[in-house]
Amino acid sequence: MISSRRNVFQIAGAGLASAVALSTAGSARAQVREEASRPSVTIIRKGIDKDLAVINVDLLEEEAKRKLPEGVHVFIANGNGEQWTLRENRRAFGDYAFAPHRMGGVVRDRIDTAVTLLGESLPFPIFVSPMGSHGLVHPEGEVATARGMGKSGGLVAVSSASTIPMEDIARASDGPKWFQMYLDQDEGRSREILQRARAAGFKAIVLTVDAIGQGSSDQYANMGRPRPWLPYGNYPEGRAPSFKTDLSWRELEMVRSVTGLPVVIKGLTRPEDAAEAVRAGAGAIQVSNHGGRALDGTPASISVLPKIVDAVQGAVPVMLDSGIRRGTDVAKALALGASAVAVGRPVWWALTLGGAGGVSGLMDYFQRELVETMLHLGVDKVASLGREHVLPLHHRIAAQDG
């Protein structure tokens, strides 16, 4: 049954005007707790879709900024509070220098960036971190993102706060997909969303544990938080869920029991928390401070990665997000023990400028730089990257610790 009620949002700015019409649809599912009405995309207006030759993410952002309303750009680009953590995520990559290995006979064309992550064979160790509201920058929203990653063969993690319903995103491409979950205070609603994700074909659940409060930069708050309202595509009538904040390891077991899928715990920065996650049954760890959008003052993800890798002791894959802007950043994270990295804000900029083609072009950029870095480091496959390839600049790290 299709309801006559429609949620329509409009984004307008210099060079960018789009509209997406959503309707609410109800469907009975045998595996869900109750019959529920949920949104379904009935109209997706095509936006820009062109290949991008990405040279530098900062330049990409500058161009996207000219296309977006100021409030939308500030909302995406900024972190929380005074944004110390946002800045630290980038700065801290400078605490590590490369130690190139020469004369190893590595041939550029034979460098292999492929990895296997939770059973998924991926052409490169870079995936799209889960972010909501892609419709802020492109009328196709997460559908365009999924198509772009499908074109590149890469993995996309889809947010439960997506503009578009998960089923429509899942159908957008044959590429690998994970589903990220913000748990609802209503456990029944959480269970229904999780069951839908499994039915739609998502292969893992990313459980975010650090976004338990609304973060906002001082600049964005001073502007009056002007981003347009967007519907939550996975929830009845597009209404925002009521996020659960009193999380415990019980929630991990609930997600596993409902879906039977591996669960990635996203948002850890303490080694002891990572070790506890493994004991509780996590399938993987994602080291993250939410791109500086959660608690300002937390350390950069790259700073805590080595100790978390040591605490996990190879029991599960460890991924990293927050601050990745170049293929050199990817190589440093992999050398310090990450199995893969996730990219956030750069995807927004690429989606703004090129839609699906922009997203695939961004992945080409990261992979191209990663290959060039591996060539100089003297390795021909990702598994060969190790701590011997990075030189900690102890004077910088000691200054930060002190």
How far is Cα 86 from Cα 80, in angstroms, rounded to an integer?
8
If one counts every other C-beta atom within 10 angstroms of the C-beta of residue 143, the result is 27
Q: Is 173 annotated as a binding residue?
A: no
Cβ pair 99, 384 in contact under 8 A: no
208 annotated ligand-binding residue = yes
235 annotated to bind ligand: no
Q: Identify the DSSP state of 384.
A: G
Known binding residue 130? Answer is yes
Name residue 108's amino acid: R
Residue 266 φ then ψ, to 5°: -110, 130
Specify whether 290 is catalytic.
yes
DSSP string, 184-205: BSSHHHHHHHHHHHHHHT---E
325 annotated binding-site participant: yes
Sign of CA pseudo-dihedral 313, 400, 331, 152: positive
Contact present, 271 and 308 (Cβ < 8 Å)? yes
- H helix runs in 161-270, sequence order: 166-171, 187-200, 218-222, 249-259
Instruction: Confirm whether residue 162 is marked as ligand binding.
Output: no
How far is Cα 47 from Cα 49, in angstroms, rounded to an integer? 6
Q: Answer yes or no: is 177 a known binding residue.
A: no
Whole-angstrom CA distances from 121 to 114, 124, 334, 357 are 7, 9, 17, 22
Helices (H), 155-186: 166-171
Tell me which residue of 110, 166, 124, 172 sits closest to 146, measured CA to CA.
Answer: 172
Instruction: Determine if residue 182 is labeled as part of a ligand binding site.
Output: yes
State yes or no: 214 annotated in a binding site.
no
Is 239 known to sit in a ligand binding site? no
Catalytic residue among 73, 290, 394, 395: 290
What does each C-alpha distance from 52 to 123, 348, 368 come to in angstroms? 19, 13, 14
Q: Please check if 131 is assigned to a binding site.
A: yes
φ and ψ of 371, to 5 deg: -60, -45
Residue 176, C-beta contacts closer than 8 angstroms, at least 6 positions apart: 120, 122, 154, 155, 156, 203
323, 90 Cβ separation under 8 angstroms: yes
Q: How many CA atoms lie within 13 A of 212 on its CB side?
A: 12
**d(C-alpha 306, C-alpha 29), whole Å:** 44
Is residue 395 a known part of a binding site?
A: no
**259 appears as a binding residue in the annotation:** no
Q: Is 245 marked within a binding site?
A: no
Q: Binding site for FMN: residue ranges?
A: 130-132, 159, 180, 208, 266, 288, 321-325, 344-345
Q: Binding site for glyoxylate: residue ranges?
A: 182, 290, 293
Q: Binding site: residue ranges?
A: 130-132, 159, 180, 182, 208, 266, 288, 290, 293, 321-325, 344-345
- Annotated catalytic residues are 290
